[in-house]
Amino acid sequence: MSRQHKISRSVTNAVVIPEDEAVRRSVGRIINAFLTVYAIHLHQHAPDLFGRLRGQWNIDTESYLSSFSPDENNRQSSLQSKGDMGYSGSTFFSTSDARYLVKSIPRHFEHSFFKDDLLGPYVDYMSNNFSSLLIRITDFLAVDDVYKVSPGVLLGLAPSHHIVMENLLIGKEEGERRAKEEFSEHDAKHQGPQHEDEEPWKWETWDLKPTTYFFPERDIAQGKLAPESTKDALADELGGKLVLTQPQAEAFMDQVKRDTELLASTNSVDYSLFLVRIPVPPSQQTPIADTENHENPFSDNVADPEHNSSTSAESQRPPDTVPVPANPPFTPPYPPSWRTGIKSADGKYVYRAAVLDFFWAKHKTHAKIMTHLVDLWNGIDLGGDNGPMSITTSSDEYRERFIEMCEDYIKTRRSGKEDDDE
């Protein structure tokens, strides 16, 4: 079997077939650990805590396990490889129903921070903030102790830790297919394309971080010393802005501030805003009406359709061409939410968003070493002080810049007009 398939099988077994401590520490398991490269054994870390979270997000056990069952058309694997993505070299898999992503956390300073420092506060916070933008993590998988001596783990060939989290790109294939048909019909009626993009139905994604920090790959020698592949892995810059009503913008920023307050309290830095922009076909581009009594449709109190009586919330539901994931882990609260899709004020897009990659802590040894290296570089650089990197700044300072970045990316729309909040 390939490396990816063996890793995916290890993840699936840890979720679907948990083993007791006696089996995990058997003699046969210990011998096998010394001979294994990729097929290491994992276990669910803090299963009671994550079981509690899943219960509060209305994820029943049978439904959760079925997501990790083999696809009917592909019995050989229950997970679909997404390759090695991200600047950290993490490995990604998607469940066959696309509800969940599995991301490896290969670096010790990251998974130890989440396990030892952030896990407790994260579970408590997420249990009481259903509208949080923090990515929903449904499981944390760690290598069995006896497999820490396997060649795959020692040489970094097999990830020792993984998280299971919600997949904000659920429905992408179906959504693009529907939108393509709608755009094609619209173009046919108007005898030609009425838009600039060659593929206006495509979903767009951005991984956004404050770009005002010092990035050696970009800022040393004007980036000439780093290959393009390395620079491409740096934080994105949003094309355009988020067009929101004033109440939408205020609710969004209030949530960002609450979420980042938690991250700052745990000394987390370098997290990002993952944003999905889904195009709406011209025939369904209905702007959101401004109303004085505009209720917040993203409230934690909105738990199901029967309780959602707000007409303003109804007007903000994604159009038919956007598949709305109205099931766990995307609910509660009941749609619309930033998980299921928020309609832009001008009706042209649907947005999804989440804050993720909050595994870098300023107090960890790796971050301290990087801080000293940046200070050393600034001391010898004849060009002057480049300032801190996003991974070496303080958590409070990073939070301030992250909030400013989010505010800068918002454009508010009132009474049919767009007002730039810059």
Task: Name which residue leads in pLDDT, 63 or 84.
Answer: 63
The pLDDT score that the predictor gives to residue 40 is 85
- Domains of the chain in start order, with CATH, are 3-166 (3.30.800), 172-358+389-420 (no CATH)
Q: What is the DSSP letter of 108?
A: H
Say if residue 268's pLDDT is above 50: yes
- Report pLDDT for 95: 93
16 pLDDT more than 80: yes
Residue of 154, 157, 144, 164 lying closest to 3 (CA atoms)? 157
DSSP state of 220: G
Q: What is the 3-state secondary structure (H, E, C) of 344-370?
A: CCCCCEEEEEEEECCCEECCCHHHHHH
For residues 111 and 248, the answer to whether their CB atoms sit within 8 Å is: no
Q: Per-residue pLDDT tens for 309-358?
A: 444 566 677 888 888 998 899 999 988 999 999 999 999 999 999 999 99
pLDDT at position 4, please? Answer: 81
Q: What span, in angstroms and rounded, lies between the C-alpha atoms of 315 and 288? A: 6
Mean pLDDT within 136-158: 84
Whether the predicted pLDDT of 41 surpasses 70: yes
**Of the segments 123-132, 196-205, 307-316, which one has the largest average pLDDT value?**
123-132
Q: Using the predicted structure, report yes or no on whether residue 125 has a pLDDT greater than 60.
A: yes
Which pLDDT score is estimated for 405?
Answer: 94
Q: Which of 77-91, 188-202, 365-379 has the lowest mean pLDDT?
A: 365-379
% helix, strand, coil for the chain, step of 5: 40, 20, 40
Is 92's pLDDT higher than 50? yes
What distance in Å separates the CA atoms of residue 23 and residue 2, rounded to the nearest whole number?
26
- Return the pLDDT at 300: 52
Choice between 375 and 413, residue whose per-residue pLDDT is larger: 413
* Pairing mode of beta strands 349-356, 342-343: antiparallel
Residue 236, pLDDT > 70, answer: no
Which distant-in-sequence residues (6+ apart) come within 8 Å of 48 by Cβ? none
Where b means 16+ CB within 10 Å and e means fewer, 274-309 reads: bbbbbbbbbebeebbebeeebbbbbbeebeeeeebe
Most confident listed range (189-203, 284-298, 301-315): 189-203
Specify the pLDDT at position 210: 87
pTM over 0.75: yes
Q: Which among 174, 126, 165, 98 has a CA at the least distance from the CA of 332? A: 126
Give 176-180's long-range contacts (Cβ < 8 A, gap of 24+). Answer: 176/201, 176/202, 176/203, 178/320, 178/321, 178/323, 179/278, 179/279, 179/280, 179/281, 179/321
What single-letter DSSP state applies at residue 96?
T
pLDDT number for residue 382: 44
